[in-house]
Amino acid sequence: MAQPLIEVKNLTKTFDGHPVLDGVDFTLHEGEVLSIIGKSGVGKSVLLKHVIGLLTPDEGRVLFRGRPIDGLTARQKKAYLGKISYMFQNNALFNSLTVQENVAMPLRYNPSVEREHIPDRVMDHLDQMELRDAARKYPAELSGGMQKRVALARALVTQPDIVLFDEPTTGQDPIRKNAILSMIAAHQQKSHFSAILISHDLPDVFFISNTVLALYEGRVIFDGSPEEFDQFDHPFRSEFVQSLELLQQELNGLYSRRQFKIRYQTDLFHNPQNVAYTVAVFMLEDRQRMTEALGHPATQELIAAMGTFINKHFSDVGGFSTRYSAAAFVTVLPFAEMDEARRLIEAFVDDLTTSGVARLARVRPADGTCAAPVEIAISAGLAQGKAQIALGEVIASARENQATIARFNVACREKKE
Amino acid sequence: MSSTPAQNEAKAFRIIGIVPRFFRSIGAYGVRWVDNFGAATIFFLMSLAKIFQRHQLANIFQQIYFIGARTMGIIVLVAAFTGMVMGLQLHYTLSKFGSEAALGSAIGLSLVRELGPVLTAIMITARAGSAMTAEIGIQRITEQIDALYTMQIDPLAYIVSPRVAAALLSFPLLTALFDVVGIAGGYLSGVMLTGADAGAYYERLYDSVAWIDVLGGFIKAFVFSAIVVTDCCFHGFYTHLQPEGHGARGVSLATTRAVVQSCVLILVADYLMTSFLL
């Protein structure tokens, strides 16, 4: 197996006799996104600060490519810090500098970056974060969400190999939270950085994570994939998970994935009568193109509106739904055979084209302009499920049967260059 | 109810115990002071060495504007009134001995050797020193200093060195301004308002104030600048380490401590330097 990029071994930290971290172990591999979850005060930020060397452990070590960071020479330490960037929980923006100057800061003091390239790189990142108009403003003149995006732009402008995000979505509304996570995911897919991300936003954060690390009272109680986390059990699970994961998703009022699975398990999977059910998967097609044209917040608004519409329509006929991935929803229609399910989907398409599309088409960027004309396509796929068949298999079959069910245009003026 | 012998003994021990506790706390305070003094000296020397790094010039000019240019107004005001009060008081005192002609000497020497550097340093501490501590303290508690570290920007070089350079340049220049305005203020009240001889005022001033006096004043200003900028920046930079308070309260405590300590240190250093320079 490849050598881990970062390895934390038996890390222990005590403040004023109070243990904060107690023998924490984890590894981060190249290109991986690791999410650290846990209640407030369990030492998540302290753990992240050890990784970058802002704090030194009482016991244990942090290894970078197998070498302890406390044993690196000055040159090696410089090289390590050059590969890593940190987005602080409270943004840590310089109030006396403009947005543009804040983002340029890590480049200006980097001798390997040519000065004439700095303005272009900065403006590129501000464009990606939809902050061009705020370039000459000071952080105090911006909303909390915009400040978060400035901090995100500053963390990414150096094109780091590793990014540490300390609660990048705290204090944001559900649309903004998902927009920021979507921005992080888009950058990660483009530049393939590895990331450690602290977040309370379950399950949204799972859509962009490869690994989840759960901390409880300074110890790691779970280290595995988001899918494994759904099965995760712990004596304090209810206290731990319910405090983090709401029963319904904030973004669209759908069941959380956990609640969805619980209902599926109780109603259908263990059903002794072996009743049939149908799974429908709905997707917003070509999300990347949509995001490029509409921007991250409007795309998230569209996803939220679609989720709300699906939930409202199918809960009236006894179905239950959840957000399955970044732009996909799964609805289970209990006791419905395929024929009946097809009729329900046809009724849904009618409802969507008569009232839903009009509602979805109203979503647009805040300034009413788009980078390009935007056509939105929604696809759906159906598959029959039975008790004792894993839900994942049924969903996979439904995805194979995807076909476009609706197309509409978002009415926005084209951006003038 | 009378106390038992054991209770009396315990009470006696408690009372006697106050004495070693008192000396222990003085000792601990002394050790902490020496410790901080050493740390602050290293802090100053490291900041001094980092003045000559890349990208410093713009920051230094910005700080000269803040510490130097923007303090000029208050310096002119304080210097004018100090000179005017001295003109009145010294004219009154000297006239009792028939020595009004010595007014120029008295005002010139007092201002150039003593009051100019001391009052300038105290005024800069009040206006710019307190702001330095508060600003750096806020940068510390909002993790801006940690952010610099993560961006591979040396926080000492970026935050402290420009302030050290600006203070070392601004203090002597502001002291010179204080001296000139103070002497003019003394002329205004001593000569124009109370009637001392104008020719004698300038003549005696010119005769008695030597270049060595001016140089002494500048040396003091230079030393005071090092004291004030080190003390104020040090307290701001290590706001998070002080045990009494964190967050906004920590910044307010650090600012108060920096201003009070700087003023006391200015006066102590002034006494020590005067005793050597005389």
Which residue in A has a C-alpha nearest to residue B140's C-alpha? Answer: A92
Best mutation target among A88, A113, A156 (most B Cβ atoms within 10 Å) is A88
Residues on chain A touching B139 (C-beta within 8 angstroms): 94
Pairing of strands A211-216, A33-37: parallel
Residues on chain A touching B149 (C-beta within 8 angstroms): 54
Question: Does B150 contact A109 at a Cβ distance shorter than 8 Å?
Answer: no
Q: Measured between alpha carbons, how far is A232 from B193 in angstroms, rounded to an integer?
A: 90
Residue A14, SS3 per DSSP = strand
Nearest CA distance, B38 vs chain A (angstrom): 23
Best mutation target among A15, A16, A54 (most B Cβ atoms within 10 Å) is A54
Range A335-342 contact pairs with CB under 8 angstroms and sequence separation of 24 or more: A335/A275, A335/A276, A335/A277, A336/A276, A336/A277, A336/A278, A337/A276, A337/A278, A337/A384, A338/A278, A338/A382, A338/A384, A340/A278, A341/A278, A341/A280, A341/A382, A341/A384, A342/A382
Residues on chain A touching B151 (C-beta within 8 angstroms): 85, 105-106, 109, 158
- Whether residue A105 lies within 8 A of chain B, CB to CB, comes out as yes
Q: What are phi and psi for residue A382, nearest 5 degrees?
A: -120, 150
Q: Measured between alpha carbons, how far is A288 from A125 in angstroms, rounded to an integer?
A: 17
Residues on chain B touching A92 (C-beta within 8 angstroms): 142-144, 146-147
Residues on chain A touching B146 (C-beta within 8 angstroms): 49, 54, 88, 92
Torsion region of A115: left, alpha or beta (phi above 0 gives left; psi -120 to 50 gives alpha): alpha
Q: What is the pLDDT of residues A154-187, one digit of tens each?
A: 999 999 999 999 988 887 777 778 788 888 888 8
- Whether residue A85 lies within 8 A of chain B, CB to CB, comes out as yes
pTM above 0.90, yes or no: no
Q: How far apart are the first and last CA of chain A?
A: 49
Q: Measured between alpha carbons, how far is A413 from A131 in angstroms, rounded to an integer?
A: 19
Q: Cα–Cα distances in Å, from B116 out to A156, A330, B217?
A: 51, 79, 7
Instruction: Reply yes or no: is the peptide bond before residue B5 cis, omega within 30 of 0.
Output: no
B86 pLDDT tier (thresholds 50, 70, 90): very high
Question: Does B151 contact A52 at a Cβ distance shorter than 8 Å?
Answer: no
Q: Measured between alpha carbons, how far is B71 from B80 in angstroms, rounded to an integer?
A: 14
Question: Does B150 contact A81 at a Cβ distance shorter than 8 Å?
Answer: yes
Comma-separated ranges of CATH 3.30.70.270 domains in chain A? 257-414
Q: Cα–Cα distances in Å, from B190 out to B26, B50, B107, B115, B206?
A: 49, 47, 10, 17, 16
Which residue in B has a C-alpha nearest to residue A53's C-alpha? Answer: B150
Helix pair angle (B130-141, B247-277), 10° resolution: 140
- Encode burial over B221-230: b for 16+ CB neighbours within 10 A, e otherwise: bbbbbbbbbb
For residue B260 the two structure tokens come to 């009070």
For residue B63 the two structure tokens come to 């700080």
Q: Which of A54, A78, A108 sits opposite B146 (nearest CB)?
A: A54
Q: What is the pLDDT of residues B170-192, one digit of tens each?
A: 999 999 999 999 999 999 999 99
* Residue A388 burial (10 A CB sphere; 0-12, 13-18, 19+): exposed
Which residue in A has a C-alpha nearest to residue B53's C-alpha? Answer: A109
- List Cβ neighbours of A413 (8 Å cut-off, separation of 6 or more): A368, A369, A370
Q: Following CA atoms B236, B238, B243, B245 in sequence, which dihedral angle do they give, to the nearest 10 degrees?
A: 40
pLDDT of residue A114: 87
Question: Does A81 contact B152 at a Cβ distance shorter than 8 Å?
Answer: yes
Q: Measured between alpha carbons, how far is A168 from A205 in angstroms, rounded to an integer?
A: 11
Question: Does B153 contact A88 at a Cβ distance shorter than 8 Å?
Answer: no
Nearest CA distance, A381 vs chain B (angstrom): 47
Nearest alpha-carbon partner for B77 in B185, B186, B211: B185
Residues on chain B touching A48 (C-beta within 8 angstroms): none
Asked if A183 contacts A153 with a C-beta cutoff of 8 angstroms, the reply is no
Comma-separated ranges of CATH 3.40.50.300 domains in chain A? 6-244
Provide DSSP, B96-113.
HTT-GGGHHHHHHHIIII
> Domain A6-244, CATH 3.40.50.300 — does that match?
yes
- Whether residue A88 lies within 8 A of chain B, CB to CB, comes out as yes
Chain B positions contacting chain A at CB under 8 Å are: 54-55, 139, 142-144, 146-147, 149-153, 158
Helix pair angle (A144-156, A174-191), 10° resolution: 10
Residue A335, SS3 per DSSP = coil
Cβ-Cβ contacts under 8 Å between A and B: the total is 42
Average pLDDT for consecutive 10-residue bins of chain A (417 residues)?
87 90 92 88 90 92 91 88 92 93 92 88 89 91 90 93 90 78 85 89 75 88 82 63 53 67 70 75 82 79 82 81 82 83 85 75 69 79 79 84 82 63
pLDDT of residue A247: 47
Residues on chain B touching A109 (C-beta within 8 angstroms): 55, 151-153, 158
**What is the DSSP secondary structure assignment for residue B189, as one 8-state letter?**
I
Q: Measured between alpha carbons, how far is A394 from A372 in angstroms, rounded to an integer?
A: 36
Q: Which of B54, B144, B151 sits opposite A106 (nearest CB)?
A: B151
Residues on chain B touching A110 (C-beta within 8 angstroms): 152
The class of domain A257-414 in CATH terms is alpha beta
Q: What is the CA radius of gyration of chain A?
A: 23
pLDDT of residue A320: 84
Q: Measured between alpha carbons, how far is A363 from A303 in angstroms, rounded to an integer?
A: 10
